[in-house]
Structure 1
């Protein structure tokens, strides 16, 4: 799969970016040989409990990107006035990078829900989707449970051997509220940013 023609798109709240997000991004870059990986944080229109303003999440992601020049932050969702559907976000990124192949990153939990997504057939036909296992759940179990997805197997990619730990943004936020350490949960510069801006208290 190694190709300088690939752009990986990694969407999420990143509230805040965790060690898992950063480690996974680096692994995906190494495995695919992609030109770059874009973190695409959701905008403020996204109604999610405890979601802090986008500019803080962007700043923290930019800190995360300092460790690798193939990582960058894309603010498509943040800049838009309304909440975008995934297909719309990918179309905008594709227009900005028309000579590149766009690979979208999701977990098996999202794949199980994908039939409820807007224009899901187009999503699975026009884009390559990297599917990450969630615990014991694998892409093959999803195919077994939702046979219609087998039709799109060529565009659904499983990457073996990814070291995915379960450090979540929720765990970081809970630890902050309970005055527990987050030293092992994200990188030092992000911890410094959280403390300086008194976030998640």
Structure 2
């Protein structure tokens, strides 16, 4: 089975994430997309990060009606700080019959050369890249790399940061979130302060 791994803090998961995940599941030759909830990205401030369990639960709520999209908390069990290369090795060992690929935006592709052991990742795993409105010039080594596949997914400029800030200022952001996720955030009064 060919699994696409879509990593993110999903703080919170929103319709943009779902649209990308579903597009990859339906139009890229992947059998499933696993939404890998990251406990803490070494490049992001932790202060505004909702508890791991709540973010994972929201991904579960958002994906339960999509049989090809699964939530994953695999990184919660790995030593921190964790790197993608370690997660891939762990998954390959745990699920030897699956082929794991990465899903990322063009903006992340531009910083791939800064990732730990990125050469090993590229050697062993395909990368499916979706377009971003402002991604800059693509590093020439990645333009025609045989392991990098560009997928013409919809471009959505929607961010979890924007959603959190809008909730804090009392704006209605319901259309931007899966209904059950909005209900969960509203019920728990998340992102209000």
TM-score by length of 2: 0.91
Among 52, 56, 59, the residue aligned to 1:58? 56
User: How many Å separate the matches in 1 of 2:151 and 2:66?
Assistant: 21
| Contact 1:44–1:78 (Cα < 8 Å) also in 2 | no
Q: Aligned residue for 1:165?
A: 156
Q: In terms of mean alpha carbon deviation, does 41-50 or 110-119 score higher?
A: 41-50
1:93 equivalent in alignment to 2:91: yes
2:181 alignment counterpart: 190
Residue 34 of structure 2 is aligned to residue 42 of structure 1 = no
Asked whether the 8 Å contact 1:43–1:79 carries over to 2, the reply is no
Structure 1 range deviating more: 71-80 or 176-185: 71-80
1: CA distance, partners of 2:29 / 2:126: 15
Q: State whether residues 10 and 37 of structure 2, in contact with CA within 8 Å, keep that contact through their aligned partners in structure 1.
A: yes
Q: 2:142 corresponds to which residue?
A: 149
Aligned to 2:175, the other structure's residue is in SS state coil
Question: SS of the residue aligned with 2:174?
Answer: coil
Unaligned runs of 5+ in 1: none
Q: Report 1:126-145 matches (<5 A).
A: 126-135=124-133, 137=135, 141-142=137-138
> Among 12, 25, 28, which residue is 2:8 paired with?
12
For the 8 Å contact 2:132–2:156, the answer to whether it is kept is: no
TM-align CA RMSD: 1.8
In 2, the alpha carbon distance for the partners of 1:83 and 1:75 equals 15
- Gaps of at least 5 residues in structure 2 are none
Please give the alpha-carbon distance, in whole angstroms, between the structure 2 residues aligned to 1:168 and 1:68: 22
CA positional deviation for 1:96: 2.3
Aligned pair partner of 2:170 in 179, 182, 197: 179
Structure 1 ranges of 4+ moved more than 3 A: 44-47
TM-score by length of 1: 0.88
Contact kept? 1:7, 1:103, Cα under 8 Å: yes
Q: How many Å apart are 1:136 and its aligned residue?
A: 5.1
User: Structure 1: how far apart are the matches of 2:30 and 2:141?
Assistant: 29
Q: In the alignment, is the contact (CA less than 8 A) between 1:45 and 1:82 conserved in 2?
A: no
Shift of 1:45: 7.2
In the alignment, the residues of structure 1 paired with residue 21 and residue 53 of structure 2 have an alpha-carbon distance, to the nearest angstrom, of 21
